[in-house]
Amino acid sequence: MKVRFLGTGTSTGVPQIGCDCDVCSSTDPRDRRLRTSVRIEIDGKVLIIDCSPDFREQMLSQPFKKIDGILLTHEHYDHVGGIDDLRPFSIFGEVDLYMEERLENALRERLPYCFAEYRYSGVPNLAVRRISAGEDFQIGTITVTPIRVMHYKLPILGFRIRNFAYLTDIKTVEEAELRKLEGVDTLVVSALRKTAHISHQTLDQALEMIGRIKPKKAYLTHMSHEIGLHAKVEEELPPNVLPAYDGLEISV
């Protein structure tokens, strides 16, 4: 399995418009963060977790080939704002969107032309594949386990694919859901910043979660400019934990 980080930033991206802090002014390319998403290649299939507003830019550098499934975590714009840009991929047929019922309802309201029964030429050819938190689902030979996490009061999904797990926008996770992550080799978790936030875990809270799950390797994502310079954060972390950056590709 190959995992490529398409974006590792929070909802505003980094640099943040109008900000001239050390991070937003940095010349280190690792401090430039598009909105959070990953591309996964496994068993000859391409999966993407979340379809950010930066999707077009993110995909320009990737091979143009069929997307076999887009796994959506929740309805916030920084995670679904690129759905209209799936139009070019319709040349390969329907693009399957895996999502919960609540998220489907939200997208049908926001993007009715993408989900209408009779769609005009040029809109993305999308197929909704409804999933639920308590049931594994299949994409070809690939088993995906949804993980229920809480984004403050909003229930959203993370995903486990074999020995890889991806959890973004976390504030809390119940113990029963953490047990679904036992034996994970590679874990990706969000860490917004170092100070408290109402709906996101801090860097320390992310490290605490990593300590409970005990993966061999962990990567941080969904980071704001407030977390600090990539180079400095990297120095502060345990040996098995790294801040991810846009364009980083790992093998699992």
Query: Which pLDDT value is given to residue 40?
Result: 98
Query: Which pLDDT value is given to residue 37?
Result: 98
For residue 14, the tally of other CB atoms under 10 A from its CB is: 25
Fold of the CATH domain 2-251: Metallo-beta-lactamase; Chain A (3.60.15)
Report cis status (omega within 30 of 0) of the bond before 15: yes
Q: What percent of the chain has pLDDT over 70?
A: 100
Cα separation, 222 vs 245, whole angstroms: 10
Cα separation, 88 vs 73, whole angstroms: 23
Query: Which pLDDT value is given to residue 119?
Result: 83
pLDDT for 2-41, tens place per residue?
A: 999 999 999 999 999 999 999 999 999 999 999 999 999 9
CB 5 within 8 A of CB 38: yes
pLDDT for 151-209, tens place per residue?
A: 999 999 999 999 999 999 999 999 999 999 999 999 999 999 999 999 999 999 999 99
Query: Which pLDDT value is given to residue 121?
Result: 83
pTM above 0.85, yes or no: yes
At 42, the pLDDT band (50, 70, 90 cuts) reads very high
* Bridge partners of residue 221, in order along the sequence: 190
Domains in the chain: boundaries: 2-251
Cα separation, 37 vs 218, whole angstroms: 16
Cα separation, 110 vs 106, whole angstroms: 6
**φ, ψ at 103 (rounded to 5°):** -70, -40
CB 73 within 8 A of CB 157: yes
